Amino acid sequence: MNKDFSYYLSKYLKEYLILERNMSKNTIRSYKKTFELLIQYLVNNKGFKIIQINFETITRDLIIDFLNYLEEEKKNTIRTRNQRLACIKSFYQYCTFEEIENIKNIKEILSIKSKKFTKKVIDYLTEEELKELLESIDTTSKKGRRDLVLLSLLYDTAARASEVIHLKVEDIHLEEKYIILDGKGSKQRVVPLMEATVQLLKVYLKENQLHTYLFENKNHLMNKDFITDVLEKYTLNISKNITPHTIRHTRAIHLLSASVPIIMIRDLLGHESVITTEEYAKVLEKDKFKAIEKVLPQEIHQPLVDWNDDQDLLNQLLNL
């Protein structure tokens, strides 16, 4: 029996991603958005009627046109374009296991390659810059004390902004010095705390009557913009683009600099693969080479010594 495109798409979004893949609400929302954009494009830009949208009419060329539209007209980044493509290919891959007649079109769409792009440079703070950031916080005010707890926790745990925002009071275990974070794909991980962060949290929890979340505003959950605003307030004198994720990068690179095993850093960050974590090691190596390059030109441009003019040096070298 040949079922239509809408049947499989509904089954994929409402059953497969939730029950079989156990994807987070945010991820599922991203998948839904991709297909909303695709259908809107087919209707508004290509003149399709809804009943005309099926596996036979959606071709490889049509998907490529849609991706180009996202990049060129909607001004999406190449990364976003590739993410949209990944969502589409995931759905079509799912369809290969179902009762579909138009397998030729499906395989052609699965053959579309992601577009190459130059990866953005990973920014991070030096230890001096981090120290300057934390010391600039005025802790005589209640908001200042909250900001210090927020940024210290963000650095100590190398957590994503969304993970800190959704951190519940019940998931903070100060006696045992750890917290439980809800990561990507609803995967939980246990993250240890440094003693200084534990002490800050004890004072903060005692001072604030919190009900559910660690960071609440009149019993309402704060959003990611809240963290961004806090960071902007204290990083005006730092000539780098500092985002909440920059603090996560900073913690990872500082741990690598301290020779912490990369497997442990992977677990702290909640990466599925150590390959992702190794990107930080590459940044560290690049920065080491840059530091060496700053020294080398000074020595390279020194006038070369004529060994014949320095008989003692020549004798020493010959003796070696």
CATH T-level topology, domain 127-282: hpI Integrase; Chain A (1.10.443)
Residue 103 or 315, more confident: 103
Q: Is residue 259 very low, low, confident or very high in pLDDT (cuts 50, 70, 90)?
A: confident
List strand residue ranges (DSSP E) for 147-187, in order.
Answer: 172-173, 178-182
End-to-end CA gap in the chain: 85
Asked if residue 134 lies in contact with residue 126, where contact means CB atoms within 8 angstroms, the answer is: no
Q: Model-level pTM?
A: 0.59
Q: Show me where the domains of the chain are located.
A: 5-110, 127-282
Question: Nearest CA to 39 among 21, 19, 53, 59?
Answer: 53
Question: Nearest CA to 54 among 91, 88, 8?
Answer: 8
pLDDT of 55 above 60: yes
- Mean pLDDT of the chain, nearest integer: 85
